[in-house]
Structures are given as C-alpha cells and as structure tokens.
Structure 1
C-alpha cells in the first residue's frame, strides 16, 4: 500500500484546524471498492495504544453488500456504516458497549428498505445503530406536508456514502478522521450534500461527529437535522437517570404527559410500555456548548453527549423501556427540530432555511464515563451550565396530536 502524506484541513475533534495527515481512499463511486487495513505500525507511529482502521463487506440476507469500517483506537472500538448514511453502528470500551439490541439484527442494505412502507415507517426496518443521522430535508413522524408524504426521520440514514476517506494526523495525538459524502438529491426538490466526519484519538474513550450540510441548489430550502443517539445496558437500567441543563421540558404527547413527573428516570424493561418522548430546550454556556448525561442507578457508569445549541437548539429524549426483545433503549437526540411531523414544527420556528450555496455545521461529541469520578465530573459540568437558571416544566404538549 502506498502511503501519501498530504496537507489538508483537518478537524481535530472540531472544525477548522490544519495539520499534515496521511490520506487514504476507502470508497469512491468512480472506483471499485477495496477492503483495506491501515495500522499505526504500518505508518511507523509509536503510540501507547496502537490503532487500526479496516473495511469489510457483509454478505447474506438483507445485509448483502453493506460496507463496514472498523476503527480500533487502542481503547475504543467503533464501527461505521458507509452504506447507511455513515451511521455509527456501535462503540465499545472493554465490556461497556455504547449501542443497543434492536430486533433488527442485520445491518440492512437500504436497497431492501421501502421508506414509504408501513405508512411511512419503513425506516424502522433498518434501525439498530448507536447513532443514526436523521434529515436533512426533513425529520420527524411520518405524515403529509404540503401534499407530500414525509417518511419517518428523512432519508439520510439510508443514503450510501459516495466517497469515504481516512485521514490520520502526522503529529501527536495522531487523530483519526473518517470522512464520507452523502448526496440527498431529487429533481426540482432538493440538492443537498453532507460532508460527514468521525474523529477519534488513539487511546481515547471518545469520538466526535462533525457534519457540514451544503445546499448546492439555486434556491433557499428548508432543512432539518436530528442525531438519534441510542443507548441501552449497562447504562440503562431501573433507576438510571438523565441529566442536562434544561431551559424548558414538555411532554411530546398525552402518554408522555402522564409520566411527566418521572421524565428524567428510567424503568426496568416493562411489557407494553412502548415509548415516551420529551421535548427539551437546553441551556448552553457562553459559547453555546451544552452537555447531556445518561448514567446508571449508582452513577458509576455513564455516557455524555455534547453539542452546541446554536447549531442544534433542541433535544428529544426518547424513552423506549419496553421488553429487551422489543428493544430496551433510550435515545438522546440533539437536533434543529423535535420529532413532530414537519408541518407542526413551522409554527414552532423549528424548520430553518438554508440559502443557495450556504452551509450549516453540526458537531456532536460522545464520551464514555467509565467510573463514578467521571460521571460526577460530567454532572458538575451540567450543573455549571445550568448556573442556577430556572427550568420551565410545561404540563401540556407543544402540539395537539389528538386530531390526527
């Protein structure tokens, strides 16, 4: 394998920094795919935590032809799915897995999914990832809007990447960048591209997603984005808690309204529970940065999801504490919008517009909190961002869904 040092713009866990890097092409729509393996040893990098990046192709069933990228940074093992919107399938540190057990066991090729099926719920037939990109033309529940059926949570999660590259910084800490390009296009409708990036560092129990949405068209367009980030055991259990600096919280619907008093705590797997969802408007710090935390009952293990409220101003908390077989899972979901159908969100000013050739950037961090001091530190950060500011608890949903 020929190694080509290049100079390029590298986001070292954030946008806009510059560094020298090794550059590799894993997938390109103009070239045949080739399964590769890149290691720190091959590159002559001496680190305490040797790392590797490799690509493989799945065969059989509805996952036929799906490409996976496995990243082992020496501490955390991550799997990214270029065939499915560059979604993050799972992340694991030791025995602690960030992800969940969906009834969907295969990594389903979008070619076998009909998004319009099941009344617009066909998206669920492939839903099993740790992080699923939702958008970008719309997000939310299926339904009609301006005479068009909008399917559940948009198309992004089922768009195969057109090109995938790996960049590795030539200088410590040798950050690993996996980038993909998604194209959401329809004649007369939309001409979006999304440059996705996952960044992690050797030895870190953390990764960051940096995405750039571009409107390539000649007219302004509505857009929405939501990052459906899904966790189960060992973080989710009876007595587990969610924490965030909250400006406002409201129930998504009447079912959630009935459980509003316990919206931050979780049940054990509960038959027939189905789901409840809460709409959260988080506070940010002086720069707009905020942090959300899920931790187990003992507060000895958790995960933290960080983002910027200027980019992603609202947050959905999805609590699906049904049986383990049905899918015992919670979703921590920063977004431009809640999960209502788009037609309900315009009056809430949650359907932003992007002008011709304009760009929007989204950055979300995911960190494993491996022990009680790490959980306590994250909770203290949440408290610091809250800074004594009041939380408004709305007793009724923002949208009246009873007439649907």
Structure 2
C-alpha cells in the first residue's frame, strides 16, 4: 500500500496506528434528515484521496464521491431520497426523476430505458396478461440485504476495503431476480471495482435488461472539461443535438433551459474488449475514468444534462440498445434468463491526477 507517500504493509501500518481506520476503512452510518432519513449507507475512505458512499437502501448504488476534496459524484436537488417515498407508477413512469442523484444509479433488473407495457403471459396468471414498466425499471429503489463489509488483507501485504449486498426484485406471478453486488477499493488506492451478478431465482424464463447510469457532476464537470471516448460510429442521437448544437466533447458552462442530449455510440475497444471513457478537467488537473467490458455491455450511451442547477454528464453502459424493451422483443435481441441462469458484470471507476 502507498499511504501518505510511504510504502506500508500490514505490520508497518500496525506499528503506526492501532486501527486501520487511521488510514482508511468502511463505516456504517444511517442518514437522518429530510427525504434521506433512514437510509443505511457505507462510507468508504481509501486513504488515497478517494471517498465515496454506498447507499445500502438504494440497491447498493454509489452516492456522494470525492477525490482529494473535489466532488465528482453528481449531487442533484432530489438528494438521496428514501425508497419508501418512491411511487413507481407516478408521473407516467418518470417517478425516478424525484430520486435521481449520485455517482451510480442502477437500471433493471427486468427493464431499462423507456416506459413499456409488455407481455406477461409467461408467468401464467390470467389476471395479469401484461406488465407495465417505468423508466429504467424498479431496482434502484429496492433496499439491499447487507451481506457484509470491512477490510481484507491480501498475501502481498495490501488491504482491500469491501462491501457486499443482495437486492431481491420479486413478485408473486412475476419475476424473481436477485442482484448480488460486491464493491471493492484498495486501501491507498483511487479505484472502485464493482462485480454484479444477476440470477433468475424463479422458475419461469424471465426478461433481463441492465444499465449503469454513471453520473459525474461539478467540480470535475466544469466549463472546458473534455469527454474522451474514441468512437467507431454513432448509431443514434436525440433531436436535441441538432437543435442545440452543443458539443459532446468540450463541455460548456451550465446552460439555461438545456434539453438533455443523448447519444448511442459504438466505442473503440481494446484487444480484450474493454472500453475506458474519461472526463478530463485540465484546470483542476484531474480525470474520471470508467472501464467496462463490451461483451457484458454491448451498448453505450452518452448523456449530457448541462442545464443550470442539474449539471451532469453520464456514462451509460447497457445490455440493450437505446430503442428499449419493445424494440428488443420485436427484433429478437431481448435477453431472457432461464431458471437458475445468471449474468455477471465487472466494471471499474478510477480517478486520478494528470
């Protein structure tokens, strides 16, 4: 481990401090005010300048995130709203906009993207011939069962901070999907690693769609920041791109009345199929980088929400293309998990200096 400019192993750290918490660690807390009241959270401090929160009661998603005192996890006006306040069918399926905040908001487990009413006959319940899905599905507002958290020492003398939880999305005469999420960060490091496994724990073939809404905000996002993503081609872009003409590479200052701009790109992957898009802020001398596997997430969306008061850029690896569930069912690209079948996803978030 490199801590405060020194290479330390477990024994050396023990000579300096009676508790790992002097260098970093994971602490369990409960948020206790306003719309956030009652949310369990885990505070990660790596000792390498990276601090971030895991929102246990929000599907183990990532909330606040900072590097060397500079924020990069998007903080919207909604705060980290308690899932008990969430009404899934509210506002014509756009209810997630009242709880949309943080570095990572997970979408799924059986539906992502636009609202859709789809066939539910596979669940064999005559009174529920279809199922209605809101924007980006249900998972982000389901509390996790916390399986554990803490520190794990490695054979080479390093220390890994970790947390693991299970999110269960289930209904009688409906889906039974379970997400197991493990989050790791090295003591002294500046990287967050996610390993997600989604399993069909039911006995019917079940739809599965999955997407990460990874949101970077101010001050990492600022006028002059640069979105770096080698692109082979762009498959789709929202009408607002032509109407507004705002660059998706060089970021402007917050714009009055800005309408979100969304792109579906085909990025250039390396030989292992990995893609590493970045947001670079040369004025602060920092960057944020995502690493994901195109075999696990074959689609990628770039989200620009550069409006005053809600200033953010999004990195969105996805299992399905931007047209959504109805189109995927129609063209045969929809994923169905057989009973007991599972899919795993591996991603990393990195921050650093230029």
In structure 2, list runs of 5 or more residues that go unmatched: 1-12, 120-129
Q: CA distance change for structure 1 residues 126 and 214 in 2, over 3 Å: closer, same or farther?
A: same
User: 1:36 maps to which residue?
Assistant: none
Deviation at 1:141, TM superposition (A): 1.8
User: 1:88 maps to which residue?
Assistant: 62
Distance 2:56 2:192 in 1: 17
What is the SS of the residue equivalent to 1:175? strand
Residue pairs, 1:261-340, within 5 angstroms? 262-296=247-281, 300-323=285-308, 325=309, 327-340=310-323
Task: Provide TM-score, normalisation by structure 2.
Answer: 0.85
Residue pairs, 1:250-269, within 5 angstroms? 250-258=235-243, 262-269=247-254
User: 1:159 maps to which residue?
Assistant: 142
In structure 1, list runs of 5 or more residues that go unmatched: 1-39, 372-404
Distance 1:229 1:49 in 2: 30
Task: Provide TM-score, normalisation by structure 1.
Answer: 0.75
User: 2:210 maps to which residue?
Assistant: 225
Deviation at 1:143, TM superposition (A): 3.5
Paired residues of 1:251 and 1:257 also in contact (CA < 8 A): no
RMSD: 2.4
What is the SS of the residue equivalent to 2:350? strand
Deviations 1:204-225 (A, max 9, x none): 1111111001111223222111
Distance 1:360 1:280 in 2: 23
Residue pairs, 1:63-78, within 5 angstroms? 63-75=36-48, 76-78=50-52
Residue pairs, 1:55-66, within 5 angstroms? 55-66=28-39
Q: CA distance change for structure 1 residues 190 and 229 in 2, over 3 Å: closer, same or farther?
A: same
Residue pairs, 1:109-148, within 5 angstroms? 109-146=82-119, 147-148=130-131
Paired residues of 1:120 and 1:149 also in contact (CA < 8 A): no
Residue pairs, 1:36-51, within 5 angstroms? 50-51=23-24
User: 2:122 maps to which residue?
Assistant: none
What is the SS of the residue equivalent to 1:294? strand
Distance 2:20 2:39 in 1: 32
Q: Of the candidates 355, 370, 375, which is equivalent to residue 353 of structure 2?
A: 370
Q: CA distance change for structure 1 residues 348 and 249 in 2, over 3 Å: closer, same or farther?
A: farther
